[in-house]
Structure 1
Amino acid sequence: MKRYGSVLGLKPDQIAQYKRIHADVWPEVLEQIKKSNITNYSIFLKEPENLLFSYYEYVGDDHEADMAAMAADPRTQDWWAICEPMQAPLDTRREGEWWAGMEEVFHTP
């Protein structure tokens, strides 16, 4: 199992809508998350900075392939098409990232 954390901005005028849609995530999206070997997936919001922090645990053997399968899923693509206009990616993210990856620097043994 490997842990992943990432951060992303959220447009201030989209906070209520973002919370609303995440209170009722589509079942097909949740199923794809499971199929992609992701567990304990959470998104936290830090206001007033309007930063989203994402955390998940990956239990598969090929993270890159599982993330590609998720990205190719049509229903997940529909979900992202709704979410992405609400989001504000960080200028400091790596090329090719939407959510900026973070380095884990501490975890209790």
Structure 2
Amino acid sequence: MMQRMGMVIGIKPEKIDEYKRLHADTWPDVLAQIKNSNIRNYSIFLREPENLLFGYWEYHGTDLNADLAEMAKDPRTQEWWKLTDPCQSPLASRADGEQWSMMEQVFFTD
């Protein structure tokens, strides 16, 4: 069963250009890990001047927590996050352990 997931995080205004540059040339190893984690149709959108990033993906696995844990153990993904995390500004209201704040889906139409 596929699960649609949305998430939000702030981005530091002075880091927007760097963040865009990184994602314009995302490392193939990172993209492969996303796919291996059963994530499809992953998109990130930027909203200025509020400086928010909105992420969307479709999860096609059966154990999200296990898949995300495997992703977090991947050395190349960890290297990637060392570049991207400093660009981000996590929300004060995020749950413990969250970088991106997960969102509740309140509407869908196909």
Alignment TM-score, normalising by the size of structure 1: 0.98
Partner Cα distance (1:43, 1:32) in 2:
17
Which residue does the alignment assign to 2:16?
15
- The 5 A counterparts of 1:17-96 are 17-96=18-97
Q: Equivalents in 1 of 2:103, 2:62: separation in Å?
A: 20
Letter in 1 for 2:60: V
TM-score by length of 2: 0.97
Task: Measure the CA separation in 2 of the matches of 1:12 and 1:31.
Answer: 29
In the other structure, the counterpart of 2:101 is 100
Q: CA deviation at 1:61?
A: 1.0
| Matched residue count | 109
Give 3-state SS (helix, strand or coil) of 1:55's partner: strand
SS at match of 2:56: strand
Q: Percent identity, aligned pairs only?
A: 61
Q: Encode CA deviations 1:14-69: one digit per residue, 9 max, x unaligned.
A: 00110011000000000000000000000000000000000000001111110000
Residue type of the partner of 1:57? E
Q: Which amino acid aligns with 2:35?
A: K
What SS does the aligned partner of 1:70 have? Answer: helix
Question: In structure 1, what is the Cα distance between the partners aligned to 2:19 and 2:99?
Answer: 16
> What is the root-mean-square deviation of aligned Cα atoms in Å?
0.6
Q: CA deviation at 1:87?
A: 0.6
